């Protein structure tokens, strides 16, 4: 699939520089400022690490694509915590 996928099927992954192995997935059109304030303050600073096209069928290491897509719809982000 081309890189011209609609924004609704693309997301950006941000890594918390404060919390080890903690990542936030947001839609391409969203910014970390859109996160709930308490969550944003707990994780900041955040560094953009990659963009993912969800319209391309692929397996992610620690999250199911359907789970990720649903979280991006509501509440608008997906928080990936370190393994327990």
- d(Cα 2, Cα 45) in Å, to the nearest integer? 32
pTM summary value: 0.86
Q: Which numeric CATH code is attached to 7-80?
A: 3.10.510.20
Sole residue written with tokens 């859109």: 34
Give the residue among 12, 34, 33 at the shortest CA–CA distance from 24.
12
Q: What is the pLDDT of residues 4-23, one digit of tens each?
A: 445 568 999 999 999 999 99
Q: How far is CA 83 from the centre of its chain?
A: 17
Q: What is the pLDDT of residue 9?
A: 81
Higher pLDDT, 46 or 3: 46
Q: What is the pLDDT of residues 47-76, one digit of tens each?
A: 999 999 988 767 888 898 999 999 999 999
CA dihedral 33, 38, 43, 48 (to 10 degrees): -20
Instruction: State the DSSP string of 15-35.
Output: EESSSTT-EEEEETT--GGGS
């Amino acid at each position: 699939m081309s890189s011209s996928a609609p924004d609704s099927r693309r997301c950006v992954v941000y890594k918390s520089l404060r919390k080890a192995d903690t990542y936030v997935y947001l839609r391409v059109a969203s910014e970390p400022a859109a996160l709930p304030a308490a969550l944003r303050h707990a994780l900041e600073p955040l560094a953009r690490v990659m963009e993912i096209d969800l319209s391309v069928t692929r397996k992610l290491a620690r999250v199911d694509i359907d789970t990720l897509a649903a979280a991006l719809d509501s509440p608008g982000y997906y928080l990936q915590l370190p393994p327990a």
